Structures are given as structure tokens and as C-alpha cells.
Chain A
Amino acid sequence: MSIQNFILSSVPAWIQKYTISKNELTIYVYPEYIVPFLYFLRDHTRVEHKLLMDLTATDFTNQEKRFEVVYNLLSVRYSTRIRVKTCIDQVTPIESCIDVYKSANWFEREVCDMFGIFFTNHPDLRRILTDYGFNGYPLRKDFPLTGFFEVRYDDTKKRVISEPLELTQEFRYFSFQSPWELINKTETPGLS
């Protein structure tokens, strides 16, 4: 039995959807079951994903549940990797998985700092990357590239001051089309 079929048949109630893209298995779990599912992946003898390599999030503003929290797991025993995702909106907190993986501590602080996703039961959810008194969540797609404050050295006051941006950036319309004229690809024998 393949690994995905085995997981689907063992814990069907927790899984929302799954995909195999570029030979990598990704499983979407309902957010309320994320911690039990991680326990299952860690402790069951047939999977044994003992390491949490990375925990991060992605922001899709076009979706109702805009954030995807991503857990990348590694099994040293079977030399396999698995990606677990869960979709939440910006007001719903998600349970911290520190009890399962100790390494999640700083990863969750980082996700909380960069995306504003709140983790319940986290022992120490302070900011980790941004400065004291920083406003906003820098990795959200609606955060302006310039930020809201600028920091500069004032020669008369002889100190670094932080003040609101003078040149605020307007909301940008992203155009993904290249301004350069593209040369049509010609088929070259031997190259694909």
C-alpha cells in the first residue's frame, strides 16, 4: 500500500484533500485536527516522521481562507518527506504543535510575527524578527513594500529617528507581463 493510501485509510476524518505534485505528497488537514495528525505522523511505526524541518505560511488573498500554514516533515527511518497544510482565515487561531515538535517554537513565533497568525498554547509568543513597536505583518500580500515607517539618522538631533513615511507608496497594480518584446521561441533540434 502506498504511503498516501495508507494515511487516507487510517485517518480519513481528518483529511480534507491531498495531492502529489512533482513527486511530493501534500496533505491538507482540517485546522482543528492538525495536532492529532502530527502526533500520528510522528509516532506511528509505519511513518515515523520524527523531524519538523520547517513550519511556515503562505498568503493567498484571493481565497476566503487566505492563509495556508505549511509543515514540512522528514522521516529519517524511511527517508521520506511529507508536507502537511492547513487553511485558516486571518481571525482564526490555530493550535501550537510544540508538544509534538519542539523545533516549532521559533517557527511559530516567526509565522506569528510575519503573518499575524495566532497560535494557541504557545509558551512564548513574542515577536522574533521585527523591531519593537513595529506595526503590520510584513509577509502579508497587502503589506506595502516600503512599510509604514522609515528610520533615518537626523544630523541636527544626532540620533536615529523613526517617523511616518513621507513618500507613501500607492497600491500597486501588478502586471506580470514583461515590458520587453519577447522573441518567439524557435524550436532548436536537440533542445527542448
Chain B
Amino acid sequence: MFLSKIAGPLRCAVKESTYIVGLEVVPNAREVLIGLYSKTLSELKATIPETAGYHQSVKDFTEHRLNICQAETKVPDIEAKIGHGQAEELIRSAENELELMKKMAVWKPWVVPEGHSIIYMTEEDYTADKALPDTATGRLLT
């Protein structure tokens, strides 16, 4: 009786499960998230040039999420404001982003070689490209 009175509120503070296979509950999710986002931002500054589109994208959402984590103290509030699933899922995607950033720093996909341009194909171009040749006459059937 006495124990359940103390343990009750404590048990409520940390949820039982994430109900996602392989995703363990993290009791101090807010602190972990703040640590991960700060690390992401500092590594981003060190490794990815600011002119890259990738830099801008990562900076935008990481700063946004970091601000929410610092403003709110309760994990459910953070989850509701970010609107991206549970805190454990946020932790996992932040870790993935950190891993990806290390690889991107090596690959440098924002360095465009000279003369490179991206072609936009309209729907007509796309279907004409797929047209089968008529083997008897050699002309394209559209």
C-alpha cells in the first residue's frame, strides 16, 4: 500500500514501452536529445560547408527541434510540438543523421562538376523515351 503510493507517480513518469519492436524506452530522452542535436550542429559547422543545401536543411530542422527541447521540460510536450513520433524515434533519426553526415562530408554531393546540369523531363518526354521501336520499320511507336 505504502510502496504503491510512492511508486505510482514514479512509474507514470517513465512509460512502459514504445510499442515498437527493438526500440527501448529512454528514461532521460530530453537530455539525450539535447546532447545529440548540439553535437549535430557542431559537427555540421565543422564538416559541411555553409553554402551546401544539405547544411541548410540539417541546420533548419535541428535548430528548430533543439529550441523545442530546451523550451519544454516534459517529454510528451516535446513529442507533441515536434510532431514526429516518440522521443525514442527522434533519438534514432538524430543518430542516423549524425552517421549520414560523416559520410556526406566524404562524398561532397554539393560539389557540382563543370558543365553538369539536371534535366527535367516532362511527362511527354518521359513516355516518348519509353516508346518501343517498331522492328519492321525502325521508327518509334508513340
Using a CB–CB distance below 8 Å, which chain A residues touch chain B? 6, 8-22, 26, 33, 36, 39-40, 42-46, 48, 60-62, 77, 173-176
Contact = CB atoms under 8 A, between A and B. Distances in A.
Contacts of A14: 109
A6 B53 CA distance: 8
Majority secondary structure of chain B interface residues (helix, strand, loop or mixed): mixed
B100 A18 contact: no
B118 A11 contact: no
Nearest to B95: A43
A12 B109 contact: yes
Interface stretch (B3-11, B25-33, B125-133): B125-133
A13 B110 contact: yes
B63 to A, nearest CB: 13
A107 B87 CA distance: 34
A176 B53 contact: no
A13 to B, nearest CB: 5
A13 B111 contact: yes
A150 to B, nearest CB: 25
A11 B54 contact: yes
Given A16-B119, A44-B57, A45-B96, 15 more contacts: A10-B53, A10-B109, A11-B109, A12-B53, A12-B109, A17-B121, A19-B125, A19-B126, A43-B100, A44-B100, A62-B132, A173-B136, A174-B135, A175-B134, A176-B141
A29 B15 CA distance: 44
B32 to A, nearest CB: 16
A10 B135 contact: no
A44 B113 contact: no
Contact of A8 (B52, B111, B118): B118
Contact of B120 (A9, A12, A17, A175): A17
Contacts of A13: 108-113, 116
8 contacts: A10-B54, A36-B109, A45-B96, A77-B85, A174-B132, A174-B135, A174-B136, A176-B141
A8 to B, nearest CB: 6
In this complex, the interface size class of chain B, counting residues with CB under 8 Å from chain A, is 35 or more
Nearest to B100: A43
A19 B122 contact: yes
A175 B93 CA distance: 53
B64 to A, nearest CB: 11
B2 interface: no
B41 interface: no
A40 B111 CA distance: 16
A8 B110 CA distance: 10
Contacts of B75: none
Most central of A10, A60, A176 by chain B CB within 10 Å: A10
Given A12-B118, A175-B136, A48 B113 contact: no
Contacts of B96: 42-43, 45
A13 B130 CA distance: 25
Contacts of B108: 13
A10 B127 contact: no
